[in-house]
Amino acid sequence: MLSKKEQRLRRARQTRIRIAIKGVARLTVNRTNSHIYASVISGDGAKVLATASTAESELRTALGGNGGNAAAAQQVGKRIAERAKAAGVETVAFDRAGFAYHGRVKALAEAAREAGLQF
């Protein structure tokens, strides 16, 4: 019997295999109870091109310390899109790391799309 974390990582592995075949940059998301993190990783997986998270001091003060909600995820989504575009990345594959496309993960993805990132 697999644990909840092992099940999530198994789902994530399958997604990453499919994204690696495409060879495009990926927007990967990780969430904890108190924060959400996003990174844009190059197509070959060798380089982190942009990052954003609620653990950053500017965002932490703007959010009043609560980085574990959908509003915080939207801010991270906008930020990661701006930073990815500044790094020259327009199109990414969304890697939700085995998390359900729901709640904070969905809020981050939709905010990144609205800010101009295509996936």
Q: What is the pLDDT of residues 70-116, one digit of tens each?
A: 999 999 999 999 999 999 999 999 999 999 999 999 999 999 999 99
For residues 97 and 45, the model is more confident at 97
Q: How high is the pLDDT of residue 81?
A: 97
CA proximity to 74, closest of 114, 40, 101: 114
User: What span, in angstroms and rounded, lies between the C-alpha atoms of 48 and 25?
Assistant: 10
The CA–CA distances, whole Å, from 94 to 1, 46, 106, 108 equal 28, 17, 11, 11
CA proximity to 83, closest of 34, 109, 48: 48
Q: How high is the pLDDT of residue 84?
A: 97
Q: Supply the pTM of this predicted model.
A: 0.92
Q: How high is the pLDDT of residue 67?
A: 87
Q: How high is the pLDDT of residue 49?
A: 97
Given a contact cutoff of 8 angstroms between Cβ atoms, the answer to whether 114 and 76 are in contact is: no
Domains of the chain as residue ranges with CATH: 4-114 (3.30.420.100)
